[in-house]
Structures are given as structure tokens and as C-alpha cells.
């Protein structure tokens, strides 16, 4: 990639991107590597097919299901900040496909988002739902047409990322954060069927959520040859819980701040 792909862009606002979300910028990008979401969703451009094929080659995804589920899961980072913003009562950008751009790597990671307009929505569950459907609905409809992988199965990958992003943003109020995203997904249709399963457990005197996807992301068929641990629907509940606790143990051992103090 030649030059700085973020040249000429400004941060959309003061909201900082979380570990699961791509930062959002304002302006029209000029550098290489950017793709307008509307062009990606338009099958006649060939951009979606090209992006999926490059991702599949890099990640060794052998079939339609692993490619579609993997692409949906990876691109969830483009909208994860909407959930973060909602739980922190920050206005939501309008990620309209015609005026929204993604900076995508050959691995299909969305490393940055650029929007050409300043329009925002109120940070409510209803508006969060509207923003998500507006941002990703056309793209996932096209992905379903290209790879014959159901839209609800694609949204299942996104939904788990939204819950996890919201929980990251509000560690001291996890149930409230999860309830907010849950309310946004209660559309009586696709999003509601895509919601992950949530179970709560205690660790170091604090409450944590075990978020399990409704549909497998098929990552085990690709390069990693392994499932996604605590979020994966394939292992037993006991194995998922053990994986979540092991992850928390690793975080606690590597942090100078005791886990029970974080977010308090």
C-alpha cells in the first residue's frame, strides 16, 4: 500500500475504537486499499468476489460456508463500534453504504472506516438496530447470493462481536450492556434469530458473560485448524466455560492491575 491511507481524513469524533472495532474517520479516502461498501455489495463490480477469494486463499477456507461465515465474522469489526457507542451514550454514525468506505487487508480485516457525512443517530437500541441493518444489510444479502449462505447465519457472526464489544466497553455494567444490545436485536426476525446465547459466571468476585455464537464460524476448516473456544457452539458448555476462565487467568497473570479492580 503506497502512502498513508488515512491522509486527509480526520477522526469522526473523540470516541476511541475498542479492541474489536475499526476506528471511524470522517472524509472521503484517497489512498489505496479503500473500497466503498456499496461497491462491495454490488455483485456486478466483482469486488465482493475478489475480496472473498483473497481472504479464502490467505486463510485456507475451502468451501462456501467457511468463506461466507469467515467473511461476516471478520468484517464485523466495521460496525462493532456502534455497540460500543450505544452503551457509552455516544451518537451513532450513519454508515450508509453509498458514503461509507472500508480499508480492507487481503485477509479481509477491516482496519479503518471512513464516512463522508457527519449524520448521526441517537444511541438507543432502536437506532442501533437501524444503523446495523443500513450498514450491512445490502452486503450480507449479496454475500448470501454469491455463496448461498443464509443471511441469518452471517448476522450470527456479527451479533456475537457486538455483544463482546459492548461488554468490553462497559466492564462494570456488563448485564446492562448486554441488555442494550439484546434489545437492539429484538426485531422479531433475522437479528433476533442471530442473537448469541449468554450465560453468566463468577470469576474473582466479578460477573462475566459467556457469549456463544448461534452458528459456527467454520474457522476450524481454515488455517488455524481450531475452534474459537468460549464463543464456539461446537464444544460442550463445560468446555466453553473452562476456555473462558483460562483466558481470564491469562489476562490476570499478564496485567499489573488485579482483574477484580478493572472497570471498577
pLDDT digits (tens, 9 = 90+) for 239-253: 999 999 999 999 888
The domain spans of the chain are 10-194
pLDDT digits (tens, 9 = 90+) for 74-92: 999 999 999 999 999 999 9
What DSSP letter does each residue of the chain carry, written as one string?
A: --S-TTTT-EESSSPPP-TTS--EEES---STTEEEHHHHH-GGG-HHHHHHHHHHHHHT--SHHHHHHHHHHHHGGGTHHHHHHHHTTPPEE---GGGEEEEE-TT--EEEEEES---EE-SSHHHHHHHHHHHHHHHHHHHHHHH---HHHHHHHHHHHHHHHHHHH-TT-HHHHHHHHHHHH-SSSHHHHHPPEEEEEEETTEEEEEEE-SS---GGGSTT-S--GGG-SSS-HHHHHHHHHHHHHHHHHH-SS-GGGTT-
What integer pLDDT is reported at residue 255 of this predicted model?
61
pLDDT digits (tens, 9 = 90+) for 14-56: 999 999 999 999 999 998 899 999 999 999 999 999 999 999 9
* pTM greater than 0.85 (yes/no): yes
102 pLDDT exceeds 50? yes
CATH number assigned to the domain covering 10-194: 1.10.510
Percent share of the chain, pLDDT over 70: 94
Amino acid at each position: 500500500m503506497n502512502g498513508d491511507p488515512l491522509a486527509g481524513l480526520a477522526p469522526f469524533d473523540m470516541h476511541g475504537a475498542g479492541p474489536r472495532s475499526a476506528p471511524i474517520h470522517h472524509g472521503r479516502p484517497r489512498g489505496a486499499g479503500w473500497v466503498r461498501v456499496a461497491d462491495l455489495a454490488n455483485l456486478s463490480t466483482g469486488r465482493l468476489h475478489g475480496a472473498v477469494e483473497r481472504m479464502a486463499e490467505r486463510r485456507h477456507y475451502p468451501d462456501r460456508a467457511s468463506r461466507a461465515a469467515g467473511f461476516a465474522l471478520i468484517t464485523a469489526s466495521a460496525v462493532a463500534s456502534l455497540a460500543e457507542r450505544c452503551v457509552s451514550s455516544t451518537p451513532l454514525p450513519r454508515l450508509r453504504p453509498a458514503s461509507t468506505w472500508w480499508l480492507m487487508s487481503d485477509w479481509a480485516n477491516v482496519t479503518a472506516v471512513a464516512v463522508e457525512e457527519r449524520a448521526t443517530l441517537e444511541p438507543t437500541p432502536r437506532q442501533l438496530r437501524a444503523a446495523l441493518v443500513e450498514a450491512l444489510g445490502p452486503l450480507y444479502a449479496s454475500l448470501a447470493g454469491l455463496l448461498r449462505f443464509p443471511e441469518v447465519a452471517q448476522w450470527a457472526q456479527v451479533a456475537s462481536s457486538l455483544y463482546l464489544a459492548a461488554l468490553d466497553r462497559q466492564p462494570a455494567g456488563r448485564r446492562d450492556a448486554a441488555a442494550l444490545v439484546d434489545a437492539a436485536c429484538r426485531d422479531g426476525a433475522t437479528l433476533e434469530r442471530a442473537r448469541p446465547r449468554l450465560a453468566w459466571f463468577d470469576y474473582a468476585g466479578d460477573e462475566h458473560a459467556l457469549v456463544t455464537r448461534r452458528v459456527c464460524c467454520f474457522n476450524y476448516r481454515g488455517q488455524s485448524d481450531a475452534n474459537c473456544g468460549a464463543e464456539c457452539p461446537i464444544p460442550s458448555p463445560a468446555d466453553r466455560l473452562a476456555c473462558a476462565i483460562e483466558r481470564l487467568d491469562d489476562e490476570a497473570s499478564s496485567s499489573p492491575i488485579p482483574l477484580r479492580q478493572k472497570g471498577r
